[in-house]
Amino acid sequence: MSAKYTISELIARESECIMVPCVYDCGSALAAQLSGAKAILLSGGELGESLLGCPEALLTTDEMAHAVERICTFSDLPVVVDVGAGFEEPLTAYRTARRMTAGGAMALLLGNEEGMTWNEYRAVLKATLKAVEDTPCIVIARKNGSIDQEEALEESIAQMTEAIALGASGTMVCGLCRSTRARELAKIIGERIPGWKFYPDQNSVNGVPDVDNEEIYQQGFKMISYHYMMKVAVAAMWEYGLLNMQNGNNVPSNEKMFPNGVKGASALPIFNMQRYYDFEAQFTGKRKIFRVPGAIPGRENG
């Protein structure tokens, strides 16, 4: 499966800030789509947690590329990829970017990794832009680090302005999500950095989000990312695991229903596995019926 539209097409048609959940596998991509998401972001952090229980800095290029290929094959939402591994040098960045786009990525979120000078980042950015120029994939330049000090803010503005001049489609200033002055700084960045902006990992305090989506949209922020998938997945597994252990059976989790009313001991029913058997029938002439392994006949969906 491939994306039904590009990130550029999505931004052009929407009239509000697009909420982009961070995902890490096909299950989280499906949950995002069922929730109404119009684009998803493959998070290096959450991929590292889910795949190896490690920080994203320990991920290899192969591990990241394989995740891109799996998710883009499964989902028809455009995938933004938070890239790190494989982008340390211009030539490897070019090769890795070509691999990511071949795997289906619709945007590469390219950050200046720790220890990388602006000159080094500029060279990697140029190579990445060259790698995607004949594809529907775009590059979003990202500046890491705090922006609470005036000097750091000015540096971020200058560097992201240059990134747009070099050909980046959009920019992300990561320091926004760690600042207590997020709303004030978002306004400054919106006014001074040309092109559209991607707000990083929206946070909240005491039930109040750091920024208002409608407000930042007017300032040029077309997309906003947010983390919740890994947190709520582990929390739910923990919660229902405790109930199962207390009961000495799996009744609590078995009776848990999805928002669409589907229930059962497995998540398989919401993945529409029957479509694979229907596809196979084109070659065999015989239609098989998919049933959840271990399910009582007639109760495959609950």
Concatenate the DSSP letters of all residues of 246-271 into one string.
Answer: HHTSSHHHHTPBPTTS-BSS-SGGGG
| pLDDT confidence band for 54 (50 / 70 / 90) | confident
Predicted confidence at residue 294, as pLDDT, reads 64
pLDDT digits (tens, 9 = 90+) for 65-86: 999 999 999 999 999 999 876 6
Predicted confidence at residue 262, as pLDDT, reads 80
Predicted confidence at residue 196, as pLDDT, reads 97
| Average pLDDT estimate for 105-116 | 89
| Average pLDDT estimate for 31-57 | 92
| pLDDT confidence band for 38 (50 / 70 / 90) | very high
| pLDDT confidence band for 242 (50 / 70 / 90) | very high
| Average pLDDT estimate for 84-98 | 88
Predicted confidence at residue 157, as pLDDT, reads 97
Per DSSP, the three-state class of 78 is coil
* 275 pLDDT above the threshold of 70: yes
pLDDT digits (tens, 9 = 90+) for 193-224: 999 999 999 888 888 888 999 999 999 999 99
Asked if 11 and 222 count as a contact pair (C-beta separation under 8 A), the reply is yes
Please give the angle made by the CA atoms of 137, 230 and 43, to the nearest 5 degrees.
25
Burial class (CB in 10 A: 0-12, 13-18, 19+), 53: exposed
Predicted confidence at residue 296, as pLDDT, reads 67
Predicted confidence at residue 191, as pLDDT, reads 96
Please give the angle made by the CA atoms of 273, 279 and 283, to the nearest 5 degrees.
140
* 52 pLDDT above the threshold of 80: yes
| pLDDT confidence band for 301 (50 / 70 / 90) | low
Which position has the higher pLDDT, 224 or 116?
224
- 238 contacts: CB under 8 Å, gap ≥ 6: none
The mean pLDDT of the chain is 91
* 44 pLDDT above the threshold of 80: yes
Joined tokens for residue 73: 């094959």
| Average pLDDT estimate for 151-171 | 96
| Average pLDDT estimate for 131-159 | 94
In angstroms, what CA-CA distances link 188 with 173, 183, 191?
12, 9, 5
Joined tokens for residue 88: 């340390």
Q: How many CB atoms lie within 10 A of CB 176?
A: 26
- d(CA 131, CA 101) in angstroms, rounded, equals 9
- 239 contacts: CB under 8 Å, gap ≥ 6: none
Asked if 142 and 112 count as a contact pair (C-beta separation under 8 A), the reply is yes
* Chain position carrying tokens 């979120």: 109
User: Domains plus CATH for the chain?
Assistant: 7-229 (3.20.20.60), 232-284 (no CATH)
Per DSSP, the three-state class of 186 is helix
Predicted confidence at residue 33, as pLDDT, reads 95
Predicted confidence at residue 16, as pLDDT, reads 96
- d(CA 253, CA 183) in angstroms, rounded, equals 41
Backbone angles phi, psi at 285, to 5 degrees: 75, 5
| Average pLDDT estimate for 28-49 | 94
| pLDDT confidence band for 88 (50 / 70 / 90) | confident
Alpha helices in the chain (DSSP H): 7-13, 26-34, 44-52, 61-74, 90-102, 118-132, 150-166, 182-192, 213-218, 229-247, 251-254, 274-284
pTM of the model: 0.91
Torsion of CA 66, 139, 32, 205, to 10 degrees: 120
Joined tokens for residue 39: 């684009």
* 192 pLDDT above the threshold of 90: yes
- d(CA 219, CA 201) in angstroms, rounded, equals 17
* 165 pLDDT above the threshold of 90: yes
